[in-house]
Amino acid sequence: MGISTALRLARVETRTELAAAVLMALGAVGTTVGALLPNLWLFAAAAAVSYAADGYLTARGTYLVKLLGRVGAGVGNRFLLRQLLLVLLLARTGLSEDSVIYPALGCFVGFQALHAVHRAVVTLITKRRRLPFATRNIDLSGLGIPDGPPPWLVTRSAEKMLHWDLVAVAGLLVTGATGVAGWGLAGCTGTVLAGVLRTLLLVPYTLGRRLPPGRDAALGFLNDWLREHRPTTVLYFSGSKDSAYQVNMWLETMENVDGVPLVLLRERHLLPQLAATTVPVVCVPSAVHLMNMDLSSVRVALYPANVGKNIHLLRVPTMQHVFIGHGDSDKIASVNPYSKAYDEVWTAGKAGRDRYALANVGVRDEDIVEVGRPQLAPIQTWTGAPMGRIPTVLYAPTWEGWSDEPGNTSLMPAGENIVRRLVESPRPVRVLYKPHPFTGTRSPAAAAAHRRIVALLEHAAERRAADPRWAQEAARHADAHAAARAELARIEARLEALGHSAAPSARDEAAASRDARADQERAAQVKRLRQEWDDAYWRSFGWWEHKVITGAEPRLYDCFNRSDGMVSDISSVVSDFIASGKPYAVTDSAGLGEEEFKRQNTAVRAAVVLGTDASGIGALLDAVSEEDADPLIRARRELKQYLLGPDTPPSMQRFNQAVRQLAAKAEARNDSQAPQETDDLSGATASAVRGGRRSGAGHGPGASETTAVG
C-alpha cells in the first residue's frame, strides 16, 4: 500500500500525521497487550507513545480525531480506556485491592465525573459570553465587555483537563514497579485535586460581572451604532469557511466605494478567515436579529454569492440589491437563474451581458450593468517574453465542483499530463502549481490527483536541484536566498505582532469583537508589510525552482505577476488572467473538440486549447518564450476588452458610478412609495415606518416581520 493510499485511509493530510496515527494505534494495542500479559514496562512504553501521538493529532485537529469521536472513540473514551487497562494491569500484578485497586478505580471514576462538570462549565461560559453578533472595526467600548477566561483555561479544555490523569497514571505505574502503595495514592490525590482546581478557576467566569451584556442590550447598542454610522452600501455574504475568498476579493473594493460601506456576514466561522480590512464588519447569524437591525440608511446591497440566506436581506424593499459574483467565467454558475431575484446584475464586460442573454434565465438586459473588475488593478500587464531567464508557467486548475460533470476541472483527466509535459519539456520552464482552495473537498479522486501532482513537482524539483547547471546557480544565489528567508521571518513576526496588537486582550469572540477596533495606521502597516512579504517570498528561492503554492499567500494575482503564461480551466481564473495580456492555455477536459470548445466558452477564444493528453502544450511554450511565435496577441487584446470592459475609465470609477446611480434609484423608489406604504399601515407600525423613512427606510429595530416585508 502506497503512502498516498495510507494517508487517505487514515484520514490525515501529512506523513507526520500518518506516523502519529500509526503510533496511536500501536499505543492502544501495546497498552492492551501490556495489561493482559501483564507487562508493566510494555504498558508504560505503549502508554507514553499513545499519549504523545493522541495529543499531537488532537492539537492538529485532524479529521481522524473527529471521525473517532463520531464512532464512539472520542478523546474522553480513549483516556478512559487507558485508565481501565491500567487498573487491569495492577489487578493482574497481584496488588492488594484495598490499598491500590479501589483507590485507583475511585480516582478514575471521580475524575471522569469532574471532567463532565468541567465541560459543562466551559460550555456554559462559552454560551453566556457569546453576543448575538460579532464585529470587526467597530468601537464596542460602550458595551462594557469584560475579559473572559485566559486561553490556557478554555483552549482545547477537554484535552487539557483529561491530561491531568497523567499524575495518577505515573503514580500507579511506580506503585506497580515498587509495590509501594503510597505512590499511587499520591498520584490519584494529585489528579483529583488538579481537576477540582481547574474547574474552580472557571466558576467565577459564569457570574454576571464577568459576562457581556444580554442579547437585548447588545442588539440595542448595535442599532444605536448603525443609526449613528449610517452605512449606505452593504457587502452581504453567507457561506462556508472555505468560501471566504469570495468575500475577501471584494474587501479592497469596499474600502474605496463611494458612501459609507459595511460588510455583513452570516456565519461566525467566516470571521477568522476574513482578510484584513478597515471596513466595519458585522456578523449576524440569526435571521431574526438581522431582520430587526436598523439598516434604514442602506441604499445598495451587494451579493458576491447566490446562497439561500440572501433572502433574509433581499426581502427588504428600501434598498436595491445587486449580484456582483465572485468571478467572471463561462461556468454555468455564472448564469444562475437565482440572479433574477436581484434588482441588477453587475458584470465585468459585455461578455457577461451576452452570457445572460444566451442562457435566457430571466435576467433582463436592462438590469445588467457593466462595471469592470476593480480587483484586477494589481495584475501587471505583459511586457513580452522573458529575457535572461527561463519562462514560468502557472498551472491553476479549478476544483471538481459540486457535480461530476465532465469538464469541471482538468485535475483528474489531465493534471498529471500537463505538469509532466511542462517539467520534462526540452525547453526548460519553471512550474508554479496553485490549486483552487476547494480542491479535493468533495471528490477523493480530485484529492488523489492533487497529491500525485504535488509528488510529481517535488520529484522534478529534486532532479533540477541535482542538475549541475542549476546547482551552480543555486550556489551563486545562496546568500541572497538566505537573506530573503531571514527577511520573511522578520516580516512574519512583525505581522503576527500586529495581529496580536489588534486584539491584545481578546480571550473569546466577545472580547475579540471588543478589541478589534479600526486602526488606519495599523492597516497601512499591514498592507505595506504584506507587499514586502510578497517580494521577499519570491526572492527566497530560485527563479528556476518549481513550486507548489497552497493557502492564501501568496495570492493568485501575485502568481499571475510572476508567471509568463498559465494553464487553467473554464473558471474566473482565466478571465482574470486575460487582464495581464499574457499567453494562456485552457484544457478541454470534456473532449468537446477545439472548435466547439471555443464556441461554448468565450474565454477560450484567445487560448491555446489542450486535450487531456496535454499534447498542445508546445504552442504555449512557444508563445511564452518568443513573442514572434505568439499568434494570439491581438486576439487576447480584443478578448480582454470584451470580457473585462475598457481600460478607461478605470473599473473602480465605473463601479462607483453604478453605486451612485443605484442609490439614487433606491431613494426615488422610497420617495414614491412613502404615502402608499404609510396609508396601508396604522398606529405604531406606521409611526415606525415614518420614522425609518426620515432616516431612509422602514426597517428599524423592533420592526415586525410584516413591516420588514413591506
| This prediction's pTM | 0.78
pLDDT of res. 4: 56
**Cα–Cα distance, 519 to 139 (Å, whole number):** 11
Q: Where are the alpha helices (DSSP H) in 503-616?
A: 509-515, 520-539, 556-561, 572-578, 594-600
Nearest-angstrom CA–CA distance, 319 and 237? 16
Question: Residue 327: what pLDDT?
Answer: 76
pLDDT for the residue 7: 54
Q: Is the dihedral of CA 4, 5, 8, 10 positive or negative?
A: negative
Q: How many Cβ atoms sit within 10 Å of the Cβ of residue 259?
A: 17
Q: Which three cell numbers stand for residue 279?
A: 471596513
Cell of 344: 441588477
Contact 176, 89 (CB under 8 A): yes
List pLDDT tens digits, range 342-355: 999 999 999 899 98
Given this model, what pLDDT does residue 6 score?
A: 57
Nearest to 75 by CA among 91, 90, 64: 64
Contact 255, 206 (CB under 8 A): no
The grid coordinates listed for 125 are 461560559
Beta strands in 355-465 (DSSP E): 368-370, 392-396, 430-433
Q: Are 282 and 674 in contact (CB under 8 A)?
A: no
Q: Tell me which DSSP letter residue 591 carries.
A: -
DSSP letters of 183-195?
A: HHHHHHHHHHHHH
pLDDT in tens, 22-68: 999 999 999 999 999 999 999 999 999 999 999 999 888 888 888 88
Helix (H, G, I), strand (E, B) or coil at 468: helix
The C-alpha cell that represents 408 in the structure block: 469541471
- 122 CB-near residues (< 8 Å, 6+ apart): 154, 157, 158, 202
Q: Give pLDDT, residue 343.
A: 96
Across the chain, which has 710 residues, the per-10-residue mean pLDDT values are 57 79 94 95 96 91 84 91 95 81 94 96 94 95 92 90 96 93 96 97 92 94 97 97 90 95 97 91 97 96 95 96 84 81 94 90 94 91 82 94 80 95 94 92 90 95 93 93 95 82 61 85 87 95 94 90 94 90 94 91 92 92 86 93 91 96 95 66 38 39 32
Say what the pLDDT of residue 700 is: 39
Contact (CB, 8 A) for 280 and 231: yes
pLDDT for 457: 96
Per-residue pLDDT, 628: 79
The pLDDT value recorded for residue 684 is: 34
